[in-house]
């Protein structure tokens, strides 16, 4: 298979094309704009649809419309743009529509700046829009995974009829690494069971999220909770690196996890038993896996993130606060440095 | 006339936004509050903690500058402090014609006493030259790239001044940064008229359009002189004044060939027919406005 040096944002478009995504809707925002630009270049050439919307809200609702027809559709944005899309995401979750949304996180709050951050964790992993819904959230940490996770995202979106967010940061979007192209180019068929695609067999299908009857709406809410339970059972994905004998467990996703891996290697040279636990899915969050580690030994968990402890809360919940936790973080567009992580590791090791 | 936009900002050499902001402030005067949504102008003039603005300045997100302007105006009135203070909203074409359209429409329909200045450089320059509703027919941008399946942007510019006029605005004018006096006078007039008034300023972008940094004014003038950007004023929905071109009308080719974004029209097969379509747009303007 072909290997090429590409940007993370480009890799997301390549993933979409191989996944059989045939409609892209988007709006410019740094540092996600290359996804829009590359889609405008490649989608029309391949006979697929590219539409630049007049706003983020229009883009997500075009996704809503196109997803209703059963097609594979994608959009991408960054922090402020994702905030604007939240109403549409809630409607998609409510109408049980599949789509992939790529979030190339930048620094906030407000306009903030265009540097990398992981401050969208709460607004993406915890729903963000109104109502009792959840997004499936995948967290790549390389250009290769920017492509692969978009493909996996479409698979999960259609398996569960639910929005999937590929949650990446400004570094992953902008950095260049080698990408091994996918082997299979999918040609998905439209599921006539639920889609509204203008054919005789789909004439009676209905896409909606309105339930005027309180009990009916509650029943629907129970039904989607069961779906989320099933997702938690089936779809958790994580990587563990040298955690087996470790008594310091770094927990980190996205670009921060790459820095943590280097810190683990360095600390191991110094004889400190440290490991890295990397969630690849943020919803479902790898609760059981973290709990298993917490139950098996005395250890300290360190959440390493480019946000104000947003993931730390999920770690504490997962381990039921049974072990000490620490937070190593930067914000404002700054990357965590290996030294910063090492300082924390050494401090914890010294106290033991 | 004193410039109220301090030098030393981070605009490109030959930046159209800097000129537009300077002329706007010259027209509006010192007693004004500027509301400025995200865009090149905001980014280059206000890298915290520095600012080029020598008047009070409020930043808003992309889609809501006119709403923020409405709020400022309503609050000043509520406090009994509106007096002669002008509320000037300055947004780019993406912020005005696309994502901010709804809040502009609301502000004009409600009749707030403010002046909205659209600085139209015909694409999203701050994020890397993506097309907007103001991008002209056949311009190549990063999201309307010219190539095998396209000559560039497939649609003509949205006629924003007409949309605003349809809201019943007492004063709507088009202008160009190539004609500073015209722009300053129109902004002055707009801010002196009570109610929601609108200035649409054509502003060639050296980076996004692809021309030498010394040519900003030349390109701006050529847009006017080909008839592609007519300068006119509308009062209560009627065109009351037009800048006549007379014998000075230039063929659109003279304007297109100055810019990289139209370069493909001179090299691609079928380019001539496309240029003829653009000439037809100019001819229509010449006829409609009696240029």
Ordered alpha helix ranges (H), chain A: 8-18, 33-45, 56-68, 79-94, 121-125, 143-160, 170-174, 214-234, 254-269, 287-296, 310-318, 338-351
What's the distance, CA B102 to chain centroid?
A: 17
Q: Does B143 touch chain A (CB under 8 A)?
A: yes
Q: How far is A40 from chain B (nearest CA, A)?
A: 5
Can you read off the two tokens belonging to residue B212?
């030498």
Judge if A3-235 and A239-349 fold alike in CATH terms: yes
The answer to whether A283 touches A138, Cβ cutoff 8 Å, is: no
Q: Which of B127, B142, B143 sits opposite A29 (nearest CB)?
A: B127
The answer to whether A291 touches A318, Cβ cutoff 8 Å, is: yes
Q: Does B127 touch chain A (CB under 8 A)?
A: yes
Q: Does A52 touch chain B (CB under 8 A)?
A: yes
Q: Is the pLDDT of residue A1 over 80?
A: no
Q: Where are the beta strands (DSSP E) in B112-187?
A: 115-120, 171-176
Question: How wide is the angle at C-alpha B170 spanned by C-alphas B165 and B173, nearest 5°?
Answer: 60
The answer to whether A175 touches A8, Cβ cutoff 8 Å, is: yes
Chain A from 80 to 99: CB within 8 A of any B CB = 80, 84
Chain A residues within an 8 Å CB radius of B94: 28
Q: Which of B59, B63, B145 sits opposite A55 (nearest CB)?
A: B63
SS3 B176: strand
What is the domain partition of chain A in residue ranges?
3-235, 239-349
SS3 A4: strand
CB contact under 8 A, B149 and A45: yes
Q: How far is A146 from chain B (nearest CA, A)?
A: 21
pLDDT at residue A127, as a whole number: 82
Can you read off the two tokens belonging to residue A54?
């007049």
Backbone angles phi, psi at A9, to 5 degrees: -65, -40
Q: Which of A40, A56, A111 sits opposite B145 (nearest CB)?
A: A40
Q: Which of B38, B126, B133 sits opposite A54 (nearest CB)?
A: B133
Q: Is the pLDDT of residue A352 over 70?
A: no
Spatial CB neighbours of B286, under 8 Å, sequence gap ≥ 6: B227, B230, B245, B249
pLDDT in tens, A177-218: 999 999 999 999 999 999 999 999 999 999 999 999 999 999
Nearest Cα residue to B229 out of B247, B265, B263, B204? B204
Nearest Cα residue to B119 out of B175, B49, B66? B175
Q: Which of B38, B99, B144 sits opposite A55 (nearest CB)?
A: B99
Rounded distance, CA A1 to CA B131, Å? 35
Chain B residues within an 8 Å CB radius of A36: 130, 143
Packing angle, helices A254-269 and A338-351, rounded to 10: 50
Q: Hunting for tokens 């080909």 — which residue is that?
A: B226
CB contact under 8 A, B98 and A36: no
**Which of B36, B99, B101, B135 is the best residue to mutate to test the A interface, defined by the most A CB atoms within 10 Å of its own CB?**
B99
| A56 Rama sector, left if φ>0, alpha if ψ -120 to 50, beta otherwise | alpha
CB contact under 8 A, A37 and B144: no
Chain B residues within an 8 Å CB radius of A30: 126-128
Nearest Cα residue to A63 out of A164, A187, A144? A164
Q: How far is A138 from chain B (nearest CA, A)?
A: 26
Task: Tell me the CATH number for domain B16-289.
Answer: 3.40.50.970
Q: State the architecture of A239-349 in CATH terms.
A: 3-Layer(aba) Sandwich (3.40)
The answer to whether A10 touches A147, Cβ cutoff 8 Å, is: no
Nearest Cα residue to A31 out of A134, A124, A108, A85? A108
Q: How far is A14 from chain B (nearest CA, A)?
A: 17
CB contact under 8 A, A111 and B149: no
Q: Does B130 touch chain A (CB under 8 A)?
A: yes
The answer to whether B117 touches B88, Cβ cutoff 8 Å, is: yes
Q: How far is B180 from chain A (nearest CA, A)?
A: 30
Mean pLDDT of A39-56: 96
Q: Does B154 touch chain A (CB under 8 A)?
A: no
Query: Average pLDDT, whole number, for chain A?
Result: 97
Using CA atoms, how far residue A316 sits from A167, A228, A242, B127, in Å, is 21, 20, 21, 38
Can you read off the two tokens belonging to residue B272?
């001539």
Q: Hunting for tokens 């892209």 — which residue is that?
A: A24
pLDDT in tens, B75-124: 999 999 889 999 999 999 999 999 999 999 999 999 999 999 999 999 99
List beta partners, residue B202.
B120, B176
Q: Does B145 touch chain A (CB under 8 A)?
A: yes
Interface confidence (ipTM) of the complex: 0.91
Q: How far is B127 from chain A (nearest CA, A)?
A: 6
Q: How far is B157 from chain A (nearest CA, A)?
A: 13
CB contact under 8 A, B147 and A45: yes
Q: How far is B48 from chain A (nearest CA, A)?
A: 11
pLDDT at residue A190, as a whole number: 92
What is the domain partition of chain B in residue ranges?
16-289
pLDDT in tens, A88-98: 999 999 999 99
Q: What tens-digit pLDDT sequence spans chain B (291 residues)?
A: 889 999 999 999 999 999 999 999 999 999 999 999 999 999 999 988 999 999 999 999 899 999 999 999 999 999 998 899 999 999 999 999 999 999 999 999 999 999 999 999 999 999 999 999 999 999 999 999 999 989 999 999 999 999 999 999 999 999 999 999 999 999 999 999 999 999 999 999 999 999 999 999 999 999 999 999 999 999 999 999 999 998 889 999 999 999 999 999 999 999 999 999 999 999 999 999 999
Q: Does B237 touch chain A (CB under 8 A)?
A: no
Q: A44: nearest CA in chain B?
A: B149
**Which of B98, B128, B143 is the best residue to mutate to test the A interface, defined by the most A CB atoms within 10 Å of its own CB?**
B143
CB contact under 8 A, B38 and A27: no
Whether omega for the bond prior to residue A69 falls within 30 degrees of 0, making it cis, is no
Q: State the architecture of A3-235 in CATH terms.
A: 3-Layer(aba) Sandwich (3.40)
Mean pLDDT of A116-123: 98
Q: Return the half-sphere exposure (C-beta side, CA atoms, 13 A cut-off) of residue A111.
A: 16
Nearest Cα residue to A160 out of A73, A225, A69? A225
pLDDT at residue B48, as a whole number: 85
Q: Hunting for tokens 């996180």 — which residue is that?
A: A105
User: What DSSP string describes A175-208?
Assistant: -EEEEEPPS----PPP-TTT---SSGGGTT----
Can you read off the two tokens belonging to residue B78?
């509520």
**Which of A9, A32, A45, A52 is the best residue to mutate to test the B interface, defined by the most B CB atoms within 10 Å of its own CB?**
A52
Q: Does B10 touch chain A (CB under 8 A)?
A: no
Q: Which of A52, A54, A56 sits opposite B143 (nearest CB)?
A: A52
CB contact under 8 A, B98 and A55: yes
CB contact under 8 A, A30 and B126: yes
List beta partners, residue A326.
A302
Packing angle, helices A143-160 and A214-234, rounded to 10: 140
Rounded distance, CA A88 to CA B226, Å? 43
Q: Does B47 touch chain A (CB under 8 A)?
A: no
Give the 3-state DSSP-derived string for B219-281, with helices as H, strands as E and coil as C. Answer: HHHHHHHCCCCCCEEEECCEEEEECCCHHHCCCHHHHHCCCHHHHHHHCCCCHHHHHHHHHHH
CB contact under 8 A, B143 and A54: no
Q: Which of A28, A44, A110 sits opposite B130 (nearest CB)?
A: A28
List beta partners, residue A138.
A166, A281
Chain B residues within an 8 Å CB radius of A33: 127-128, 130, 142
Strand A99-107 relative to strand A163-169, pairing: parallel
Q: Does B63 touch chain A (CB under 8 A)?
A: yes
- This prediction has a pTM of 0.95
């Amino acid at each position: 298979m072909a290997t090429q040096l590409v940007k993370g944002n480009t890799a997301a478009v390549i993933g979409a094309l191989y996944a059989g995504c045939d409609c892209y809707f988007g709006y410019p925002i740094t540092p996600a704009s290359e996804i829009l630009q590359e889609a405008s270049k490649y989608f029309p050439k391949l006979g697929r649809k590219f539409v630049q919307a007049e706003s983020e809200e229009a883009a997500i609702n075009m996704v809503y419309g196109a997803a209703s027809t059963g097609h594979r559709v994608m959009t991408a944005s960054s922090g402020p743009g994702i905030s604007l899309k939240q109403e549409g995401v809630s409607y998609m979750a409510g109408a049980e529509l599949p789509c992939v949304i790529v979030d190339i996180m930048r620094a906030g709050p407000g306009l903030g700046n265009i540097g990398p951050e992981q401050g969208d964790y709460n607004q993406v992993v915890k729903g963000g829009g109104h109502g009792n819904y959840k997004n499936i959230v995948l967290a790549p940490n390389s250009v290769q995974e920017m492509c692969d996770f978009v493909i996996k995202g479409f698979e999960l979106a259609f398996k569960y009829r639910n929005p999937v967010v590929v949650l990446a940061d400004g570094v992953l979007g902008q950095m260049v690494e080698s990408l091994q192209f996918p082997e299979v180019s999918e040609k998905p068929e439209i599921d006539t069971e639920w889609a509204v695609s203008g054919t005789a067999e789909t004439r009676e299908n209905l896409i909606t999220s309105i339930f005027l009857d309180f009990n009916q709406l509650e029943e629907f809410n129970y039904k989607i909770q069961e779906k989320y339970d099933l997702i938690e059972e089936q779809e958790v994905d994580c990587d563990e690196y040298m955690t087996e004998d470790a008594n310091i467990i770094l927990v980190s996703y996205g670009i921060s996890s790459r820095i943590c891996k280097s810190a683990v290697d360095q600390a191991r040279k110094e004889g400190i038993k440290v490991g890295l636990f990397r969630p690849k899915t943020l919803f479902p969050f790898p609760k059981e896996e973290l709990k298993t580690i917490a139950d098996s030994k005395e250890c300290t968990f360190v959440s390493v993130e480019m946000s104000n402890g947003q993931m730390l809360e999920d770690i504490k919940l997962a381990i039921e606060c049974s072990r000490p936790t620490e937070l190593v973080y930067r914000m404002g567009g700054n990357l965590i440095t290996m030294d910063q992580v090492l300082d924390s590791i050494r401090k914890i090791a010294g106290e033991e | 006339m004193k410039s109220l936009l301090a030098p030393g900002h981070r605009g490109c050499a030959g930046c159209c936004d800097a000129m537009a902001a300077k002329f706007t402030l010259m027209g509006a005067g010192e007693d004004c509050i500027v509301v400025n949504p995200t865009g090149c102008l905001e980014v280059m003039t206000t890298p915290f903690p520095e600012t080029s603005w020598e008047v009070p300045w409020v930043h808003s997100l992309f889609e809501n500058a006119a709403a923020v302007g409405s709020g400022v105006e309503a609050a000043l009135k509520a406090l009994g402090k509106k007096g002669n203070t002008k509320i000037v909203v300055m947004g780019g074409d993406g912020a005005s014609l696309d994502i901010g359209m709804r809040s502009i429409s609301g502000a004009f329909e409600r009749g707030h006493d403010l002046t909205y200045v659209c600085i139209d450089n015909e694409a999203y320059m701050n994020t890397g030259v993506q097309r907007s509703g103001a991008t002209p027919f056949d311009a190549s941008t990063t999201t309307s790239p010219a190539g095998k399946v396209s000559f560039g942007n497939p649609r003509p510019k949205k006629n924003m001044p007409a949309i605003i006029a349809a809201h019943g605005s007492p004063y709507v004018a088009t202008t160009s940064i190539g004609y500073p006096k015209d722009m300053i006078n129109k902004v002055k007039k707009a801010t002196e008229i009570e109610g929601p008034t609108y200035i649409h300023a054509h502003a060639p972008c050296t980076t996004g359009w692809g021309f030498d940094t010394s040519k900003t004014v030349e390109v701006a003038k050529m847009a006017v002189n080909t008839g592609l950007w007519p300068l006119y004023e509308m009062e209560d929905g009627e065109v009351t004044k037009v800048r006549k071109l007379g014998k000075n009308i230039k063929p659109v080719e003279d304007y297109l060939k100055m810019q990289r974004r139209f370069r493909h029209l001179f090299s691609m097969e079928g380019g001539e027919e496309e240029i003829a379509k653009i000439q037809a747009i100019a001819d229509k303007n010449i006829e409609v406005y009696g240029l």
